[in-house]
């Protein structure tokens, strides 16, 4: 009797025990758009905009400040802080909804310009939750052994999707890029990412038209402003506000619980910079202790969707409001509706 031949076995991939953010960087466009300039497009007032959103100014990108250019600038800072060679980057993940070409992904151009032209590179569409989605992928890749270092970028030129004649959204959006270099760690640096969606509300934040119908309308879709190039973003404020505050407060609490961290142990709360009113109401719903510093970058940056969390993180670290090694609760939420929250160690 002979033994049956042994079935061939796949050698398992092995990764790092844990991952963490090793560097963060942002890019803010040069051009500042104060509320006074917005008021030349819409019938409103500075006070109305401030009380509805907390925004005093935002940055809008110029022609040279492309999605790729802003990303490369932000990523360069994150890579420098991490202290690695760009050639070591094992994946480039770009969260954006404003790279206005469906293929190829902008991630490949960014990888080429950064000096990691052979790394896997792809874009993800998860709107204002995009950074958290990317972070979750990065953490999984590093621990699974499919990459040692992962670059996660959130970047938007929302000015391209802004209808300047829509008084409910024209003042909200801004442009910019934020990047995080994620790598292996001996200690946990990214808590379990609580992510998900509420697809039943897919229409409460959406572009006005699909491309084919927009083309058929011959540009008329964007209204009298006519400077917007693509179908603009529309938002139904009340349902978004309710979901973003009370449902997201629950998600934020789940992220704290999953990480085994209590709110008073946080060194920073960095919610997606959607609207200062959402941030304030979420703080109340979450019963966040007043001692925890809260990101309020929206006042001068506007809502930059996927870029807002890393931009706000960079600002808090630069200003000294938060410190390297502090625990931060981050939560992104937006069109889909989709969300992602986690406790992370600040780089």
Partner 1 sequence: MAQDKDAVLEGLAEIVNEIAGIPTEDVALDKSFTDDLDVDSLSMVEVVVAAEERFDVKIPDDEVKNLKTVGDAVDYIVANSNS
Known catalytic residues?
A: 128, 272, 303
Distance CA 25, CA 71 (A): 10
Q: How many C-beta atoms lie closer than 10 Å to residue 8's C-beta?
A: 5
Check binding of 246 to partner 1 (CB under 8 A): yes
Check binding of 238 to partner 1 (CB under 8 A): yes
* Contact in structure between 119 and 92 (CB atoms under 8 Å): yes
Closer to partner 1 by CB, 101 or 242: give it.
242
Taking the complex as a whole, the smallest distance from the CB of residue 265 to partner 1 amounts, in Å, to 28
Cα dihedral 214, 218, 219, 221 sign: negative
Check binding of 54 to partner 1 (CB under 8 A): no
**Burial tier of 248 (Cβ tally within 10 Å: 0-12, 13-18, 19+):** buried
Which listed range, 156-164, 208-216, 274-282, 294-302, lies at the site for partner 1 (CB under 8 A)?
274-282
Check binding of 202 to partner 1 (CB under 8 A): no
Check binding of 242 to partner 1 (CB under 8 A): yes
The helix (H) or strand (E) run that includes residue 135 is helix 130-144
- Tokens 């972070």 locate to 135
| Per-position DSSP letters for 279-347, written without gaps between them | HHHHHHHHT--TTS-B--THHHH-B-GGGHHHHHHHHHHHHTSS-TT-EEEEEEEETTTEEEEEEEE--
Written as six digits, the tokens of 213 are 């119908």
Which listed range, 76-84, 87-95, 234-242, 317-325, lies at the site for partner 1 (CB under 8 A)?
234-242
Which of 239, 253, 254, 257: binder of partner 1 (CB under 8 A)?
A: 239
Which listed range, 63-71, 118-126, 189-197, 241-249, lies at the site for partner 1 (CB under 8 A)?
241-249
Taking the complex as a whole, the smallest distance from the CB of residue 207 to partner 1 amounts, in Å, to 21
Which of 241, 257, 263, 321: binder of partner 1 (CB under 8 A)?
A: 241
Distance CA 72, CA 326 (A): 26
Closer to partner 1 by CB, 39 or 285: give it.
285
Which listed range, 115-123, 184-192, 238-246, 257-265, lies at the site for partner 1 (CB under 8 A)?
238-246
- Distance of alpha carbon 329 from the chain centroid: 14
Check binding of 72 to partner 1 (CB under 8 A): no
Rule CB under 8 A: which residues touch partner 1?
51-52, 237-239, 241-242, 245-246, 275, 277, 281
């Amino acid at each position: 009797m002979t033994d049956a031949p042994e079935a061939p076995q796949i050698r398992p991939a092995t990764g790092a025990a844990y991952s963490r953010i090793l560097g963060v960087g942002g890019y803010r466009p040069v051009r500042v758009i104060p509320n006074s300039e917005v008021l030349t497009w819409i019938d409103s007032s500075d006070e109305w905009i401030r009380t509805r959103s907390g925004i005093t100014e935002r940055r809008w990108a110029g022609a040279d400040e492309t999605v790729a250019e802003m990303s490369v600038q932000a990523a360069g800072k994150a890579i420098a802080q991490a202290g690695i060679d760009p050639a070591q980057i094992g994946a480039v993940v770009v969260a954006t909804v404003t790279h206005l070409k469906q293929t190829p992904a902008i991630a490949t151009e960014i990888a080429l310009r950064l000096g990691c032209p052979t790394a896997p590179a792809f874009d993800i569409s998860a709107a204002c939750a995009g950074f958290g989605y990317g972070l979750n992928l990065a953490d999984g890749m590093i621990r699974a052994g499919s990459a040692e270092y992962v670059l996660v970028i959130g970047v938007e030129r929302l000015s391209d999707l802004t209808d300047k004649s829509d008084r409910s959204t024209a003042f909200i959006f801004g442009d910019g890029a934020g990047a995080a270099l994620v790598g292996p760690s001996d200690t946990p640096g990214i808590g379990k990412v609580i992510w998900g969606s509420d697809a039943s509300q897919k229409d409460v934040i959406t572009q006005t038209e699909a491309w084919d119908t927009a083309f058929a309308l011959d540009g008329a879709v964007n209204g009298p402003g006519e400077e917007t190039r693509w179908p603009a973003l529309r938002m139904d404020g009340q349902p978004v506000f309710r979901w973003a505050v009370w449902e997201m407060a629950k998600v934020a609490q789940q992220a704290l619980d999953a990480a085994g961290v209590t709110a008073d142990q946080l060194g920073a709360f960095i919610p997606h910079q959607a609207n200062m009113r959402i941030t304030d109401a979420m703080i109340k719903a979450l019963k966040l202790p007043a001692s925890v510093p809260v990101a309020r970058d929206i006042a001068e940056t506007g809502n930059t969707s996927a870029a807002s969390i890393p931009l706000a993180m960079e600002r808090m670290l630069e200003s000294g409001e938060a410190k390297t090694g502090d625990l931060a609760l981050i939560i992104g939420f937006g069109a889909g509706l989709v969300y992602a929250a986690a406790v992370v160690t600040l780089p």
